[in-house]
Amino acid sequence: MHFSPVPLHIPDGFLSIPISIICWAITIITLGIAISRTNKALGEKQVPLMGVMAAFIFAAQMINFPVAGGTSGHLLGGALAAIVLGPWAGMLVMTAVVAVQGLLFQDGGLLVMGANILNMGLVTAAIGYGLYRAVSNQSKAVKLSVAGVAAWLSVMAGALFTALQLWLSGTSQLGIVIPAMLGVHVLIGLGEAFITVAALSFILQTRPDLLGEDSESAKGSRAWVAVGGIIALVVVWLSPLASADPDGLNRVAMDIGFFNTAQTGEGLLAGYTVPFFADAAASKIMAGVIGVIVVGAIIMLIGRGMKAKS
């Protein structure tokens, strides 16, 4: 009946205590702000609205569509929740979803729940809303295509954050975990983007008021654009760089003093490179940027196609 749509739920035991605590701290501070903001905006209405919306995300994660060879596309929902409910409410809703997945289904651990909430709830909502907010006054086609890119990047950002935490905990090797996680999530992210765009386009057609000028969706601060943009840049810049030059990042982490475990930068697989990312750092970053543009273009074309048909 239940399945976890995206392999991002970290179980207990895979993150070190310092990393778990740092993630909890970031999560708790962000949620504290989110609670006070939504309280002001929604008041006592926030409980039924966000509670049912959290159940909606949970249930929507069950909707799948066959892609090929027995795999199927799913929704993670962070970007969608943040776009339709506003960023803070979206974060609370996703937090509830991740918490119930961990508590009730052991999809993700308890000590590492701070990290799971951060990766799947906060980062996805921030980047999803941030990029969407930049164009929320533009035409429908622009809004939808940016929402698609935002949804794709939100999954990639969640995967990147998960990979970084695993690496900093000494559980995985950087040069492998980042290309592996991101590689898997390139396609999962496309599924996320398609479903998010189609769902938003459906809502725009049937209840445009929910995404109109007076909605929570349009009222978010402009500062979100910066937040979303920064996370997007980190994903675009760090993923290819980390894949191409894992030892460099290892050194940085060691200089900061992250490693107290038996981890060293010199792995037996140090010579391992990802075929696609084999050249100098600058070309990796270019590759990342081109990737984003290509995905954006694909989604925009599909958006056009859908619009033309409907």
Per DSSP, helices labelled H in the chain are 17-42, 46-60, 78-85, 87-105, 113-117, 123-134, 140-168, 174-206, 216-219, 223-244, 246-256, 281-309
Residue 141 in the binding site for another protein (CB under 8 A)? no
Residue 197 in the binding site for another protein (CB under 8 A)? yes
By C-beta, is 150 or 285 nearer to another protein?
Answer: 150
Residue 49 in the binding site for another protein (CB under 8 A)? yes
Residue 135 in the binding site for another protein (CB under 8 A)? no
By C-beta, is 269 or 280 nearer to another protein?
Answer: 269
Buried b (16+ CB within 10 A) or exposed e, 152-168: bbbbbbbbbbbbbbbbb
By C-beta, is 59 or 256 nearer to another protein?
Answer: 59
Single out the residue of 98, 97, 211, 55 nearest to residue 147, CA to CA.
211
Site string for another protein, 11-40 (x = CB under 8 A): xxxxxxx--x----------xx--x--xx-
Binding segment for another protein (CB under 8 A), chosen from 62-70, 214-222, 233-241, 284-292, is: 62-70
Cα 229 to Cα 227: distance, rounded to the nearest angstrom:
5
Helix orientation angle between 78-85 and 174-206, rounded to the nearest 10 degrees: 40
- What is the residue whose two structure tokens read 């273009």? 297
Contact call for residues 92 and 27 (beta carbons, < 8 A) = no
By C-beta, is 274 or 289 nearer to another protein?
Answer: 274
Residue 6 in the binding site for another protein (CB under 8 A)? no
Residues 6+ apart with CB under 8 A from 203: 84, 210, 211
Single out the residue of 78, 109, 189, 228 in contact with another protein (rule: CB under 8 A). 109
Single out the residue of 24, 41, 58, 248 in contact with another protein (rule: CB under 8 A). 58
By C-beta, is 82 or 97 nearer to another protein?
Answer: 97
Judged by CB under 8 A, how many residues of this single chain contact another protein?
Answer: 94
Residue 145 in the binding site for another protein (CB under 8 A)? no
Q: How many residues does the chain have?
A: 310
Contact call for residues 295 and 144 (beta carbons, < 8 A) = no
Binding segment for another protein (CB under 8 A), chosen from 121-129, 152-160, 196-204, 223-231, is: 196-204
Contact call for residues 132 and 163 (beta carbons, < 8 A) = no
Give the H or E element holding residue 67. Answer: strand 65-68
Q: Which 161-190 residues touch another protein, going by CB under 8 A?
A: 166, 170-173, 176-177
The alpha carbon dihedral of 54, 24, 153, 11 has a sign of negative
Single out the residue of 41, 186, 203, 286 in contact with another protein (rule: CB under 8 A). 203
Q: Which 63-82 residues touch another protein, going by CB under 8 A?
A: 63-68, 73, 75, 80
Q: Which 243-282 residues touch another protein, going by CB under 8 A?
A: 262-264, 266-269, 272
Single out the residue of 22, 54, 122, 211 in contact with another protein (rule: CB under 8 A). 54
Single out the residue of 128, 191, 220, 291 in contact with another protein (rule: CB under 8 A). 191
Residue 221 in the binding site for another protein (CB under 8 A)? no
By C-beta, is 105 or 293 nearer to another protein?
Answer: 105
Residue 117 in the binding site for another protein (CB under 8 A)? no
Single out the residue of 6, 13, 14 nearest to residue 167, CA to CA.
14
